[in-house]
A = this chain, B = another copy of it.
Amino acid sequence: MTNPRKSSALKEHEGVSEPETTNKRAIQAIKTKRQSQPSAADLVKGILAKNLTALSRAITLVESTNPQHLKKANTIIQACLPYANKSVRIGITGVPGVGKSTFIETFGTFLTSQGKKVAVLAVDPSSTLSHGSILGDKTRMEDLVKDDNAFIRPSPSGTSLGGVARKSRETIILCEAAGFDTILIETVGVGQSETAVHSMVDFFLLLKLTGAGDELQGIKRGIMEMADAIVINKADGDNLKNAKTAKVEFNRALHLYPPKESGWQPKVLLASALQNEGIPEVWQLIEDYLDLSKTTHFFDHKRNEQNKFWLLQTIEDRLKSDFYNNPAIKAELQIQLQHIENGTTSPFAAAEVLLGLK
């Protein structure tokens, strides 16, 4: 096939370069400014001055895989620590379609109207593959995104849940140091992410739908038991009657579980984020929880336990990744898994072989 352009009447003569009309020096100055890396101290100063650009840049360092960036991020986090820890951290989960974005939009806007400063984060390891499933589309939170008292940050990408969770947890510290007093952490109700989020929040809220068999769909086993509250969303219009029935059923189901260590009895509420109904009640419930857990000192106890959990978790994640990323072990693991599948070795004998390669 001949190149149509070559034989075409449309063939163009090559042009000549236009003379430069921009000031090279000015361009260079802009480039230098863009590339200039503020120091860790500058970023800390910015964060404590509630500068959102500084906050965003620091979070970008936390999310980086460059060891230099991580070192800088650690310095910033250490410096921010004394100013963190002064917020309420709320986990929000529910299957896709339950209306998490709309709920967070309405709930977040309610909170800022009450004088709160709200940071919205997400933990969603799948975002690496799907390029931002939840919170990727900020347009679904169009009021909140324009709200000066709100800060929205999509899920960091990462190869493992452990990595994503670590980054989110450090981001919480930075947001708190920047003066955000209410941290909402969104996650999809379909994976292990809930356990990770549960271990970084004070209060865990499960959004549910009624009708359409949602009770039987999607929510991973065990998540309902973590919930401090179940909010049945879209409880409006024709749905209201079903929602009320579902409320009774969920309440009954929650009573089958043993009491929580906090002494808190999980509650079921109805809400319609779209109609802006039931939202103050959700916040009131969280305040009740905070009152109770601060009176009993469970609040601090839980945060302390969470910090210890994250210490051990970080160590164990690294021990595992160091082991499984060893090329000799990687190769032998495949061989041993095949032996196990064939029934020619026991899991314990196979483990001995692999540990011998360490």
Instruction: A313 to B316: give the CA distance in the assembly, Å.
Output: 12
Chain A residues numbered 297-320 whose CB sits less than 8 Å from any CB in chain B: 304, 307-311, 313-316, 318-320
Report how many copies the assembly holds: 2
Size range of the chain A interface in the assembly: 35 or more
A73 to chain B: closest residue by CB: B348
Verify if A250 is at the interface (C-beta below 8 Å from B): yes
Contact A346 B173 (CB under 8 A): yes
Verify if A77 is at the interface (C-beta below 8 Å from B): yes
Instruction: A152 to B315: give the CA distance in the assembly, Å.
Output: 40
Contacts known (A225-B222, A316-B320, A343-B81); A337 close to B311, Cβ less than 8 A: yes
Contact B77 A215 (CB under 8 A): no
Q: Distance in Å from the Cβ of A105 to the closest Cβ of chain B? A: 27
Contact B215 A221 (CB under 8 A): no
Q: Distance in Å from the Cβ of A213 to the closest Cβ of chain B? A: 10
- 5 interchain residue pairs of minimum CB distance: A310-B347, A314-B351, A311-B347, A221-B225, A319-B319
* 17 CB < 8 A contacts A-B: A74-B348, A77-B348, A81-B346, A169-B347, A173-B346, A216-B256, A216-B257, A219-B258, A222-B222, A250-B256, A252-B253, A253-B253, A304-B340, A308-B337, A311-B347, A315-B354, A315-B355
